[in-house]
Structures are given as structure tokens and as C-alpha cells.
Amino acid sequence: MNTPYVSIIIPARNAEKTIKKCLDSVLNLDYKNYEVIVIDDGSEDRTPEILENYKDKIKIIKNIKALGPSQSRNMAVKEAKGEYLAFTDADCFVDKSWLTELISGFKESKIVSVGGIQEIPKDETEFGRKVSEFFKKIGFISDYMHIAKRKESVEVNHNPSCNVMYRKDIFLEENGFLENLWPGEDVELDYRLRKKGYKIIFNPKAIVYHYRPSNLKSFLKMMYRYGWAQGFLVKKYGIFRKIQILPFLTLGIFLCFCIALFYMNIYLLLFFIFIFLFLILYFKFDLYILPVFLSWHYGFLNGIFFKENNLHKYEDKDD
């Protein structure tokens, strides 16, 4: 098997709860020809202290102040020696065959990126499990979650930056991640790559285990950010993802509901009640679905109608 040199890049900020498990996993892979670069993005907890314990095994880049994941990753790429760039996050840990499975997907020159699946850690919190299940449920309007049950590799529109590998030469040619955008910087880069005619592959055997927010407040912040990113991308490129249609569909449904309410059409009102109850039962997310839904849409509107803000910077997951 061909084993080109790979640079694993991990941005980390205030990741004291998960960074050790992340590093232990990436240092114990069955693929041997690689380096690990961690960007400490202005951490204010024990993350720098934990990283010091690994300084002989990894390369550490220290940012005095937080620059955000996108800019941090791009900085690390400039220091990377690998032919290929593998990205994961500090709140993830990877399967032993992770790199092997990712590198195996580059079977032709047009393939620029290979990504994989996000699984639920065994020690995930109860709320975190609900969040993971929620993301699996919305797979029908995302770019990759709905194919997670496949056993073979398949071409997709996008892979998330917590589990993805890029060809370094093309990554640099396209100037990497958009630094004033996070989250959504991976979606934006993949969109540009596909416009150039490159292929993106999903390999379900390339596995990372991803910890999610452990409380509702943090999850709502995450969904606001996700919504803001999609609004920003629609403003920049127009609609190019199924999920970006959702706010306009929601607006149409809301107008129909108002009309039904105005004319007291009992059948339409019952229909909307049925839709709401169906969503609650389908997502099995109690009544959280309503604030989650509103948070994402509020973010989307802000992303479209307001100027850029500091959303490209980190915010601690569980504050």
C-alpha cells in the first residue's frame, strides 16, 4: 500500500476535557508515516499544560490570542510537511485505522478530499447523545449524514472538518479555509473545490468519535452559529445546499398558518398541529426542538442581513 506522508492538524482551545484522549488516539494509528500539529488557540484552561506532556511527539503552535479554527488550521498548514492534510478536532478521538481509510480513498487525480463518519463516544453525556441523534435525524437535508449507513465509499458534496483529509497542493492552490468564517468554513471550501471540478469522497470506514455539547445552552449557541454560517454562505454564493432552503420553506408555512388562523380554517390549523407533533416525535428531542429550530433560523437571518462579526472565533462548548 502507498503510504505518503500525512500531516494531522488539530486546533484546540480550552480543550482540557478531551485533548488527551484525542492525542492518545492520533498517536496510536496503524498508519506510520505522519506528523501531528496542534494549534493551541489562546487556551485559558489546562490545555497548554496537557500539550506540554506531548511536546516530544507532536508539534505545538501557540497563539497568544484566539484566532479561530479556520485561521489556526491555515497557519498549521504552512508548517505542515505532509503531502496530505488530515483534520480533526480537539473534542474528537479517532479510530486506529482512521488515516489508512482516509488515504485509501485517493484513487484518482480528481479526488481532492476524503472524509468519514462521526460516531457517538461510549462515555458521551445523555444530552450529547441526543444531540448526535438529532444530527443523524436531519441527515435528509444535510450533505453527508444521510449516507452514513453505507458500507462503501461514495462521492458527496461535503465532509466536515472534524474528519477529513485534503491534498495539500490543491488546498494551498485554493488558499485553504476562509478565515473569517466558522463554522461553515469546510462547507465553503468544498463548494469552491467542486466548482473547480474536483471530487469529494465519503468513506464510512474512516471513523472519528465526536463529543457534542452537554447542555441546552451550549447546543443553542452551536445551532445559532450553524444558522449564521448558512446565511452567510447564501449571501455569498446563493442557495447551493438543501438545508439552505429550510428558512424559506419555514416562512411559507408560517404565512399559511397565519392565513389559516385569520380565516379560522380548522382543517389547516389541525394540519399544522399535526406537523408540529410529528417533528417532536420524529426527532425524539422533547420540546428542545422548538428553541433549536428558532436558534438556527435566527442565526440564518443574521448571517444574511448583518455584517460579519466574531463568530469565526471560538466559543467554549460547555460554558
Q: Can you count the helices (H) and strands (E) in the chain?
A: 11, 9
Lowest mean pLDDT among 186-195, 209-218, 238-247: 238-247
Contacts of 146 (CB under 8 A, 6+ apart): 139, 140
> What percent of the chain has a predicted confidence (pLDDT) above 70?
77
For residue 48, the surrounding DSSP H or E stretch is: helix 47-52
pLDDT of 19-72, one tens digit each? 999 999 999 999 999 999 999 999 999 999 999 999 999 999 999 888 999 999
**Distance between CA atoms of residues 156 and 100, nearest Å:** 20
Count of residues in the chain: 319
d(CA 212, CA 219): 8
Selected residue with higher pLDDT from 317 and 156: 156
Top pLDDT among 7 and 232 is at 7
Give me the long-range contacts of 50-54 (CB less than 8 A, separation at least 24).
Answer: 50/16, 50/19, 50/20, 51/12, 51/19, 54/23, 54/27
Higher pLDDT, 319 or 159: 159
Residue spans of beta strands (DSSP E) within 189-287: 199-210
Q: Name the helix (H) or strand (E) containing 187.
A: helix 185-195
Query: What global pTM score does this model have?
Result: 0.82
- CB–CB of 23/54 below 8 Å? yes
| Domains of the chain with CATH codes | 6-214 (3.90.550.10), 218-312 (no CATH)
What's the rounded mean pLDDT across residues 99-120? 95
φ/ψ region of 68 (left if φ > 0, alpha if ψ in -120 to 50, else beta) reads left
Instruction: Look at residue 140 in the predicted model and tell me its pLDDT.
Output: 44
Which of residues 169 and 313 earns the better pLDDT score? 169
- Give the per-residue pLDDT at 131: 81
Where do runs of H (alpha helix) occur along 114-163?
126-137
Residue 275 has pLDDT above 70, yes or no: no
**Dist. CA 191–CA 168, nearest whole Å:** 17
Using CA atoms, how far apart are residues 72 and 66, in angstroms rounded to an integer?
9
- Segment 161-206, tens digit of pLDDT: 999 999 999 999 999 999 988 888 999 999 999 999 999 999 999 9
